[in-house]
Amino acid sequence: MPTKNYAGTRYSELAEINTENVKNLQVAFTFSLGVNRGQESSPLVVGGTLYVVSPYPNILYALDLTQPGAPLKWQYNPKAMAASQGVACCDTVNRGPTYADGKIFFNTLDAYTVAVNAETGEELWKTKIGEINMGETMTMAPLVAKDKVLVGISGGEYGVRGFIEALDANTGRSVWKAYSTGPDQDVKIGPSFKPFYDQDKGKDLGVATWPPSAWQQGGGSVWGFVTYDPDQNLIFYGTGNPGPWNPNQRPGDNKWTAGVFARDLDTGEARWYYQWNAHDLHDWDGINENILVDLTWNGQPRKVLVHPDRNGLLYIVDRTTGEVLSANFYHAVNSHTGVDLSTGKVKVVADKYPVQGRVLRGVCPTAPGAKDWSPSAFSHKSGLLYIPHNNLCMDWESMEANYIAGTPYVGAEVRSIPGPGGHMGELSAWDLIQGKEVWTINERFPVWGGVVATAGDLIFYGNMEGWFKAVDARTGEVLWQFKTSSGIIGQPTTYRGPDGKQYVAILSGVGGWAGSIVSGDLDPRDGTAALGFVNAMRDLKNVTTKGGTLYVFKLP
């Protein structure tokens, strides 16, 4: 699975490649995915086969690692509807396939979940999850736990009503489905729901915290990584921003958007919920990764989840109760002053409240947040969390948005700008107990891809200029780097090949929300293009071009 394990730590025990020999890393083979769009996916290795899925049209390729040059074994084309590209807010990306029990599972942009025979590439089942005419698409990587495939819907910029759904892994039939807005019954909130904070207690808050019927197009899409704690039999996942972005159109806390749910895997019943950003003001989806780790906190063993939010805070939350243990800044923030730990609410700075028609300048962080989807890694060896993130602020103006199904429902003009220091991205190593940064690497552009940590004390990540790097996990020193053909926004994978050797794989191909100026051929004269990201990314066109290539590295 792209998250490496149920806990989502993205930590590999492989140590053959280490701080000493990594400088000798060289290309083993490459493979063109044939699609020049943002490659946010993660290569997946099972036995002697490497699986990789392209952005729309979402072709799944299987490469034979037992043969020299890893020739193509088969490819599977789900023939996704071309029209789905129009309703994908932020490039036509896919965040990866996943494997369980002889099957590969992945989602298509036109909102189907597919199961394919991992040996033969034959389609086993295909289930329709969403309707593109309602603005629903799918980009996330499914999580398979026990016999269930967990999938969620994208479309937070199109006024969808977000949900997560569990499918039977053998048949593709729906087992349960839980919405992010609406009456308790639809949200699967029942007697076992025990949120930690008072503001989350009460009846039908998914209706009551909205203007009448606004919850029906209230967003709360589910497109991040899902994690699973087998001991509690709970899954954890975030909900996206409320729709529209313009907060003036939706007074109230807008439950259950921009928060995290813990649900029973078998029934889908909610156990607890915590809202990162009540009444979200700036498109801060709550979907960033929730990494499960066990810590000694003030002398007590605690089961926690770790979550770097778009709002610039790194949260440590007790995953059995939903209590916030700490929330520290990892990004420059001027729009709020952190969390009041007694109520769990973020303290918003009044002059950064986006009143309709007024241009707010220099709001930090920006709409994509201190950090977007790009998943962090936790090293069990160094005990540090490695966070790929942005350094961005923005100008924002709220405008009235009309809801027209299948068209965007945003109501804001945004222009992103570089944050303090002028660089736009960082890779930071973070000490969870101390609540502070240990080292950081500045990057010219946002670090829009994921991170892998290994027992060889290495951190692998790529930047949007196209460099793929290996970094010393303890010092942040760059020990090796290789320039790939296009910018990197993908998730690295490391695996042991059939020959017993360790390999490292990454997709190169710029795009995603940050890189759509290149992948979508956008016009840099309009700073508000790509929902305001183009303003900051104008130079990307001078640095890289589109691509779609898998690179695999090994020691000589």
Partner 1 sequence: MNRIVAPAGIFLLLVLGACEREERAFRADPIATETEEKIALVPLSPGSGPPVEHRTGKGKEYEDNAYHVAQGKRLYTWFNCNGCHSNGGGGSGPPLMDDRWIYGGQIENIVQTIREGRPNGMPSFRGKVPDDQIWELAAYVRSMSGNVAKDVAPGRNDDMHPRPAENREPDSPPVAGGSIPPSAEMPQ
Interacting residue ranges for ligand HEC, rule: CB under 6 A: 85-87, 407
Identity at 493, one-letter amino acid code:
T
- Which of ligand HEC, partner 1, none has residue 84 at its interface (CB below 5 to 8 Å by kind)? partner 1
State the nearest-atom distance from the C-beta of 76 to partner 1, in Å: 12
Neighbours of 199 (CB within 10 A): 16
- Residue 363 interacting with partner 1 (CB under 8 A): no
Residue among 198 and 523 whose Cβ is closer to ligand HEC: 523
Cβ(287)–Cβ(275) under 8 Å?
A: no
95 is in an annotated binding site: yes
Piece in contact with partner 1 (CB under 8 A), picked from 259-267, 408-416, 429-437, 473-481: 408-416
State the nearest-atom distance from the C-beta of 34 to partner 1, in Å: 4
- Which of partner 1, ligand HEC, none has residue 525 at its interface (CB below 5 to 8 Å by kind)? partner 1
139 is in an annotated binding site: yes
Piece in contact with partner 1 (CB under 8 A), picked from 28-36, 295-303, 304-312, 328-336: 28-36
State the nearest-atom distance from the C-beta of 208 to ligand HEC, in Å: 31
Residue among 149 and 410 whose Cβ is closer to partner 1: 410
Direct distance between the N- and C-terminal alpha carbons of the chain, in angstroms, rounded to an integer:
27
| Cβ neighbourhood burial of 147 (10 Å; 0-12, 13-18, 19+) | middle
- Residue 526 interacting with partner 1 (CB under 8 A): yes
Cβ(372)–Cβ(289) under 8 Å?
A: no
- Residue 433 interacting with partner 1 (CB under 8 A): no
In 309-391, the DSSP E strands lie at: 313-318, 324-329, 336-340, 345-348, 359-363, 377-378, 384-390
State the nearest-atom distance from the C-beta of 413 to partner 1, in Å: 4
- Residue 27 interacting with partner 1 (CB under 8 A): no
Which residues belong to the active site? 283
Helix H or strand E encompassing 433 = none
How far apart are alpha carbons 303 and 204 in whole angstroms? 29
- Residue 516 interacting with partner 1 (CB under 8 A): yes
State the nearest-atom distance from the C-beta of 87 to ligand HEC, in Å: 5
What are the strands of the beta sheet with 259-264, ordered from one edge?
227-229, 234-238, 259-264, 270-275
107 is in an annotated binding site: no
475 is in an annotated binding site: no
- Residue 178 interacting with partner 1 (CB under 8 A): no
Rg, the chain, Cα only: 21
Alpha-carbon distances of 100 from 130, 210, 221, 228, 466, rounded to whole Å: 23, 40, 25, 15, 32
Neighbours of 103 (CB within 10 A): 19
- Residue 87 interacting with partner 1 (CB under 8 A): yes
What pairs with residue 396 in β-bridges? Answer: 360, 414
- Residue 372 interacting with partner 1 (CB under 8 A): no
Alpha-carbon distances of 482 from 83, 128, 215, rounded to whole Å: 36, 40, 47
**Binding residues for partner 1 (CB under 8 A):** 34-37, 57, 59, 77, 82-90, 92, 157, 357, 359, 395, 397, 399, 401-402, 404, 406-410, 413, 415, 516, 520-531, 534
Question: Residues at the annotated binding site?
Answer: 40, 95, 139, 157, 241, 283
